[in-house]
Structure 1
Amino acid sequence: MKFPSQIFRSYDIRGLLDEVTPELAKNVGYVLIKKTQAKTVIAGRDMRATSPELLKAAIQGLIEAGANVIDIGFCTTSLYNFCISSIDHAEAGIMITASHNPAEYNGMKFSYGNGQPISGKEIRDAVEEDFVPAGSLGSVTKIDPINDYVEKCLTVSGAPDLSGKKIVVDYGNGAGAITVRPLLQKMNVEVIELYAEPDASFPNHESNPVKEETLVDIKAAILREKADLGIALDGDADRIMFIDNEGVTLRGDLLVPLLAKELRSHEPEAKIVITVNQSWTSFEEIAACGAPAIVCPNGRTNVIATMKKENADFGGEVSGHMMYKEFADLESVDYTIVRTLSVWQKSGLVFADLVRHLRQYHNSGEVNLEIHDKDGAIKKLEELYASKATVVNRIDGIRCEFDHDWWFIARLSNTEPILRLTVEAVSEGLMREKVEELVVIVSEK
């Protein structure tokens, strides 16, 4: 059977509902065992409309290939990551999810038992082959790991008692409430919940907290309720954004140094991995509390691979993926919540005052430009700016820094005719000026 080639991506499989079918899921189960030789596999799913049937089909493929399956059912990606990292005999995993994508999408992601991701492109080469079932079927064991996961998040770093504090949480109609709700209850915090009911149609807003337009409701609720801060999650709860008590978002690359500094306060030699598109703040704050950060290309798989290679303790992205050695170098939004709230409690400050110094530079955020000659655009930027820059980094597109006035990074999308541009400067006026300048240059034919 043929499957659309475009759904097999660098990090996972993701496509429209009629492209990601039970037939595909079953075949993927076969391929996963062929590739990993795993005898025991973790399997879970998010709340999307087709996820139950996709998980059922994937499990059928896994057991027909002879593997034993630990079925964790409806879960978040963070909970799935916990199972991968804590169940010793698990040698691979499959999670049915399209993460933050709109309702008309679904997908799958996979990993080895050590947490190392397996790309959709690695699966593609064998997924259309005919398979012969193993001599005997594997078994299926259902477990509920939520309590164990919540306890680990609370005990590894120590849970703050937040009696008297008020937090707004926007679940975006995703899966996050199944773990975040009991987690926050154990910290005695008053919680105002938005869109906690899982709903695959995402009726209130896209479940993608990186987009500022999805944070309108939580910001209004924070101000209306006089809350201490807000937490927004994506659909499968592997990405997180914090919003302060003044209704201002804390980008992922500003959360990273806050957590890195706390980690190094008791582990001075801790290694930190960051992506090349992060703010000067991230680079400077991390270097100021020990060794400079280890820098890698953008993308969660790059962060995970670099953490494993360097035996790092913590890594994070602008988009809100926060990875920890304690979870096999994978994401945990719940652990991120505990650590962030612990830093906040110990500071004695209101949340806005705790993070205000992290916003010292003016950052454009990621500007996505449709450019058909992407390589030509990067070459043009190289020719015009590299020789004038004081620092040039080419590990992911091109990043040029100009003294300590401003910098830009231009990166290419792997799957679309999109150039991703970020500019940061010491003043808002300079930042806007440089964004306009660069957009004109890369848009010229």
Structure 2
Amino acid sequence: MLDVIFREYDIRGIYGQELNRSSAKAIGFCLGLKMLEKKCKNVSVGYDARCSAGELFSYLVSGLNKAGIKVYNLGLIPTPLGYFSLYEGMKFDANIMITGSHNPKEYNGFKITIHKESFFGKELKEFSKEVYKHLDDEIEENLEAENYDILSLYIEFMKEQFKNLKGFDYEFIIDCGNGTAGVVIEPLIKALNLKARILFSKPDGQFPNHAPDPTEEKNLRAAQELLKQNSQFKFAFAFDGDADRMVALTRNHIFCGDELCYLFAKDIPNPRILAEVKSSQNLFDAVEKFGTIFMGKTGHSNIKKMMKEKRIDLAAEVSGHIFFKHRYFGYDDGIYAFLRALELIFKGYDLEDSIRALPQLYTTPELKIPAKEEQKFILVEKFKNAVKNGQLNGVKELCEIDGVRIKFEEGWALLRASNTSAYLITRFEARSEKEAQKIKTQVLELFEKIRAGI
């Protein structure tokens, strides 16, 4: 079934299965028609380091050319440079990034932006029906595309934006993870004359050193070892496969996206902040003291939409997607976020102390509960109704923005359906591990009772 590759935020799947020659050509053709329908004259296309990128590029571009839209080839670049192409010089009307993001090497897919708006959700699901109609079309191979050097323009832009950092005498580590970050980081570090030890900069779709997901601590071990062994290094930064996410770490602490959001917010006058439902209560409570903060849905497409609606300066996901509208364009860019973090250090902020000064809370990692695609949203709805009917003790408040976030006297719990995979996501936070476990136990007991009844 082709449906499995049409996710909430993008098109993604295992290359060679539903994502293949015929589906990629049909997607390209239908996207070209959709973009022309939306008055686009052209589309920029870039790709990540995955081994399937070249083949997918040829199939996608063949479909786009059959539709009759002008194609520009951005080459192997991070996803944020695809977004950047829509803002730099206002030359392009749409962008497609061929990327599997942080997923295992066998995955790939398409992130689509039309007139600076994410193409996602119901519109993307409806679009999948058009793709079905053209799966058996004969689409000849046509790789006609004009090369466009977005990389040099991006580096020049960042060099100007962060000229205050030029020659900063501070040693740090960067782990590119053999993803696309390396094609930017090496020339950018040179342009700013920064003192960085760069790890795994060569793009390699086999990801020989570790998986391209820096939110898994095991993938940070190389950077952690260097921090422990070399006292001159105080900080490290790591990127996912397409560099739209960034994780920062010291010898003693790994900064989650919500913690970075708080640190960045402190350096923005009267900030308007957006945080997803998985974020720590500390972020909401702390930002309320000096700015305005909203809670929103998880997912880069949802966040970008709400940022425009609420005139947001800065948004973040726990997973390391950081969206700056303040001094930038409002999309998630791990490389830009890295430079803003380095700028905080340059200005004299002690990032670790700032986090340590917040109230001590215990937050569990995300717990993923396998669930069938056709059942996961039903399970969340039934759980929500059970909570409303008083089947959980001590509930103070119920937030239904994205799944259900339940506030208790001692902390909170979250249960939501993943929009991209066949599982539910839970997270728990409280003033101590014991209280968090207590909340977790009663929430999961109720959930299992509901699941048993389906």
Corresponding residue for residue 257 of structure 2:
252
Do structure 1's residue 71 and structure 2's residue 78 form an aligned pair? no
Q: Secondary structure at the match of 2:203?
A: coil
- For the Cα contact (< 8 Å) 1:386–1:392, is it kept in 2? no
CA deviations 1:311-367 (Å, max 9, x no partner) are 322211111111133654211112111111111221253x43343335732111211
Do structure 1's residue 238 and structure 2's residue 244 form an aligned pair? yes
User: What is the distance in 2 between the residues matched to 1:71 and 1:122?
Assistant: 27
Cα 1:190–1:385 change in 2 (3 A) is farther
Structure-to-structure mapping, 1:25-424, within 5 angstroms: 25-37=24-36, 38-119=40-121, 120-130=124-134, 140-156=145-161, 158-161=163-166, 163-226=168-231, 227-244=233-250, 246-264=251-269, 268=270, 270-291=271-292, 293-325=293-325, 328-347=329-348, 349=350, 351-358=351-358, 360-371=360-371, 374-375=379-380, 376-384=382-390, 388-403=394-409, 405-414=410-419, 416-424=421-429
CA deviations 1:71-112 (Å, max 9, x no partner) are 101111011111122241311111111111101111111111
User: What is the distance in 2 between the residues matched to 1:139 and 1:201?
Assistant: 28
Give the C-alpha shift of residue 63 in structure 1: 2.2
| Count of residue correspondences | 433
Give the C-alpha shift of residue 386 in structure 1: 6.5
Cα 1:379–1:158 change in 2 (3 A) is farther
Instruction: Report the residue type matching 1:30 in the other structure.
Output: F
CA deviations 1:391-417 (Å, max 9, x no partner) are 3211111112223x2111111123545
Cα 1:161–1:359 change in 2 (3 A) is farther
User: What is the distance in 1 between the residues matched to 2:329 and 2:168?
Assistant: 32
Give the C-alpha shift of residue 187 in structure 1: 3.8
For structure 2, which runs of at least 5 residues remain unmatched after alignment? none
- For the Cα contact (< 8 Å) 1:64–1:138, is it kept in 2? no
Compare 94-103 and 150-159 and name the one that shifted more: 150-159
For structure 1, which runs of at least 5 residues remain unmatched after alignment? none
Q: Secondary structure at the match of 1:18?
A: coil
User: What is the distance in 2 between the residues matched to 1:359 and 1:55?
Assistant: 49
User: What is the distance in 1 between the residues matched to 2:353 and 2:441?
Assistant: 32
Cα 1:339–1:422 change in 2 (3 A) is same
Corresponding residue for residue 6 of structure 1:
4
User: What is the distance in 2 between the residues matched to 1:238 and 1:312?
Assistant: 19
Cα 1:443–1:213 change in 2 (3 A) is farther
Compare 277-286 and 426-435 and name the one that shifted more: 426-435
Corresponding residue for residue 24 of structure 1:
23
Instruction: Report the residue type matching 1:312 in the other structure.
Output: I
Identify which of 434, 438, 441 aligns with 1:436: 441
- For the Cα contact (< 8 Å) 2:272–2:291, is it kept in 1? no
Compare 115-124 and 99-108 and name the one that shifted more: 115-124
Give the C-alpha shift of residue 230 in structure 1: 0.9
CA deviations 1:243-300 (Å, max 9, x no partner) are 12x2421000111111122122xxx3x4322112211121122211222x12211111
Cα 1:289–1:133 change in 2 (3 A) is farther
Q: Secondary structure at the match of 1:206?
A: coil
CA deviations 1:172-216 (Å, max 9, x no partner) are 221111112222334433222222222212222221112222222
Give the C-alpha shift of residue 433 in structure 1: 3.2
Cα 1:436–1:34 change in 2 (3 A) is same
Q: TM-score, normalised by structure 1?
A: 0.89
